[in-house]
């Protein structure tokens, strides 16, 4: 009898050895399946973290709904994002490379900051909450 070739079975490689261990099967993981799963979750996370349909309407929302003046929005709120983005970018880069934090913790913290930004923008009262939201959106990666 010739040995059967290995065949994939739902992400597991099964091979039976006919030389005497007829009932023994080797179980190996399918690396392509694991890679596909990881890429799926990565693409899903990237899509939802970058999908921001309300961003083009933020200035109108702050002026009309929140009652913040046009000059205050442009000079006191939106400028904070520009000035805080570079320091947060450097901090996030260092934290992702060190063993104390790691890239997973940075991704979770960034997702939390993005969620916090939406909450503060929607439910915050006054200019100070909108300024704090600009800091959290700077830290969201």
| Residue 59 confidence class, pLDDT cut points 50, 70, 90 | very high
How many degrees, rounded to 5, is the angle at CA 14 between CA 12 and CA 15? 155
* Contact indicator for 63, 69 with CB cutoff of 8 Å: yes
Q: Which residue has the tokens 């091979």?
A: 15
- The per-residue pLDDT for range 80-125, each reduced to its tens digit, is 999 999 999 999 888 888 877 888 888 889 989 999 999 999 999 9
Whole-model pTM: value is: 0.65
3-state percent breakdown (helix, strand, coil) of the chain, nearest 5: 65, 10, 25
């Amino acid at each position: 009898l010739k040995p059967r070739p290995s065949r994939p079975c739902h992400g597991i490689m099964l091979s039976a050895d006919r030389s005497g261990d007829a009932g023994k099967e080797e179980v190996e993981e399918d690396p392509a399946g694991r890679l596909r799963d990881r890429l799926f979750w990565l693409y899903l996370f990237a899509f939802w973290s970058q999908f921001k349909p309300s961003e083009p309407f933020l200035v109108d929302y702050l002026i009309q709904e929140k009652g913040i003046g046009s000059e205050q929005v442009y000079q006191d709120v939106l400028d904070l994002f520009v000035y805080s983005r570079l320091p947060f970018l450097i901090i996030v880069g260092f934290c992702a490379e060190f063993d104390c934090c790691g890239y997973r913790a940075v991704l979770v913290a960034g997702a939390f900051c993005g969620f916090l930004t939406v909450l503060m923008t929607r439910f915050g009262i006054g200019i100070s909450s909108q300024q704090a939201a600009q800091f959290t959106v700077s830290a969201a990666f």
